[in-house]
Structure 1
């Protein structure tokens, strides 16, 4: 079997495994929906009113997309690694031609499909429920590589967490501990003006920051293929390579 065939077989197995977990399927899509409904429709934004959610609805599109790009890969891939370790599956995988890189690639592709569908749902809700005005320009297609690269980054990070945590509970605790600060401190829901001046350079250390800046340039600033979009996409691509490689290396050969 070729490498493509091995990745496809693992993709099919991982995809079917996800569909069999109906609770996981439900909450994967329910969480971003309820977030949009609460903050976008109930709390709503108050432009020029000051404080949190003081920007127009479209400004927060990157934040809502970040919830699935960040949380879903961290928890899903991390938990999958933990389950494989507890079930001694990596010892069995070590006897097959499937490499660690191919296994992670298949898991990442599954997450790309899942999160891509969730992102489309979020964008539709933002337009229909909150009235966000997202410009329908050719440049909007660049959302696809931003989402894909963001998923790759956090699949890699989730793999590392799953490899070092001692249980599935440990993975969930670690992923939440990392994801919650990143979600609010990466130029998503909290504008840079609301943060202390000394915190500015720290924001640049978050991979999610480059996702947020690039997506905002496309959906809010209508920058098209401007410098902001290109630079943030390039940084995110470099980070995706680094995190994917680190994740593949971190996958245990045995349990």
Structure 2
């Protein structure tokens, strides 16, 4: 009696073999895990220090003066002392420092400190000189309020501070890098895999076996799905434990992010099928794939918010599927929303998936 061929066992066997192949591929591991982790480590160690202003201190400055000591307490101000005058002048011209300050103490009739301040800057430092001026003016105004109390036209009441979560750099960067790693890995690995299977006639040989075409695709998809979800677990864990990445609802938020990861991989694999179908040679795959991935890497809010782009460019950014996956990740992770709250994002990504897979079916070739 003939044993009925089990399509699901064949699917799992293909998935295991494909997963082993992915793990043995240095490029797959580097692009899916290596690059995102490097970027996360870089941005994580940078932290939220914000913008800092470097200012050279003239050798004639009285470093014991009240004003100098107050400026030295400003975290966003980096005072550089002990540098030769000629070298400091050269750094100022090149824009390496924002200004050179000289503070000299003056005699005063009262107990209040008095000093003379001279600031020199250059056209090369025009981007930060206004910030330095506001810091310097603020320190002087505060000192004036302490030593020369005066009447004001308004009384400012104590600031009311509402409870809230601090939005760290890692909370913006990690979802963007996770999304882009899913896009690039799904597109490149799928395109190269199925192109090579077609070129080596492996797909053609599958026709001689009882396994159905759908199960071939599902087997390869399952392998990539497992690999990318495992990579997402590593990325999220490092971001959470090492740099304080926000997972508002803990485990439930974590699992919702994994669902978005799997959903994104399935959709983005469609782009890989399209690339493998229209590529005529292996050397044409990277240019075609980069046309799909690079604009989304730059414009879909991976490193910079879409709102920061010019108004005429934002509509283009907002039709990209990666933009909506980035938004969904950030809303779930930091804002505490759930999958049913990001219906717009999931709907747009689904619409892209339907269109892409229709195109993939039209251009896909088995031999």
Q: Which residue of 2 aligns with 1:18?
A: 22
Q: In the TM superposition, what is the alpha-carbon distance from 1:197 to its structure 2 partner? A: 0.7
Q: Do the aligned residues in 1 keep the contact of 2:182 with 2:265 (CA within 8 Å)?
A: yes
For residue 344 of structure 2, the aligned residue among 228, 231, 235 is 231
Q: Which residue of 2 aligns with 1:205?
A: 319
Change (3 A) 1:40 1:247: farther
Q: Do the aligned residues in 1 keep the contact of 2:248 with 2:336 (CA within 8 Å)?
A: yes
1:37 aligns with 2:150: no
Quote the Cα distance in structure 2 between the aligned partners of 1:225 and 1:156. 22
Q: In the TM superposition, what is the alpha-carbon distance from 1:169 to its structure 2 partner? A: 2.7
Quote the Cα distance in structure 1 between the aligned partners of 2:18 and 2:286. 19
Change (3 A) 1:26 1:198: closer
* CA-to-aligned-CA distance 1:182-228 (integer Å, 9 cap, x gap): 1221122221221111122212221112211111110121123553x
Change (3 A) 1:55 1:47: farther
1:110 aligns with 2:223: yes
For residue 5 of structure 1, the aligned residue among 4, 9, 25 is 9
Quote the Cα distance in structure 1 between the aligned partners of 2:287 and 2:200. 20
For residue 193 of structure 1, the aligned residue among 296, 307, 331 is 307
Q: Which residue of 2 aligns with 1:94?
A: 207
Unaligned runs of 5+ in 2: 53-166
Mapping 1:236-247, distance limit 5 Å: 236-247=349-360
- TM-score, normalised with respect to structure 1: 0.85
* Structure richer in helix, relative to its length: 1
* CA-to-aligned-CA distance 1:159-197 (integer Å, 9 cap, x gap): 110121122332123223321221221122221221111
Moved runs in structure 1, 4+ residues, more than 6 A?
Answer: none
Change (3 A) 1:94 1:62: same
Unaligned runs of 5+ in 1: none
Q: Do the aligned residues in 2 keep the contact of 1:73 with 1:111 (CA within 8 Å)?
A: yes
1:136 is paired with a residue whose SS is coil
Larger relative contact order (Cα-Cα within 8 Å, sequence gap ≥ 6):
1
Q: Do the aligned residues in 1 keep the contact of 2:190 with 2:273 (CA within 8 Å)?
A: yes
Quote the Cα distance in structure 1 between the aligned partners of 2:246 and 2:259. 21
1:182 aligns with 2:296: yes
2:268 is paired with a residue whose SS is helix
Q: Do the aligned residues in 2 keep the contact of 1:69 with 1:150 (CA within 8 Å)?
A: yes
Q: Do the aligned residues in 1 keep the contact of 2:275 with 2:289 (CA within 8 Å)?
A: yes
Q: Do the aligned residues in 2 keep the contact of 1:47 with 1:55 (CA within 8 Å)?
A: no
Quote the Cα distance in structure 1 between the aligned partners of 2:214 and 2:317. 30
* Structure richer in strand, relative to its length: 2
Quote the Cα distance in structure 2 between the aligned partners of 1:249 and 1:5. 28
Q: Do the aligned residues in 2 keep the contact of 1:139 with 1:225 (CA within 8 Å)?
A: no
* CA-to-aligned-CA distance 1:89-143 (integer Å, 9 cap, x gap): 2221233333333222221111111111111111122123333233234344221
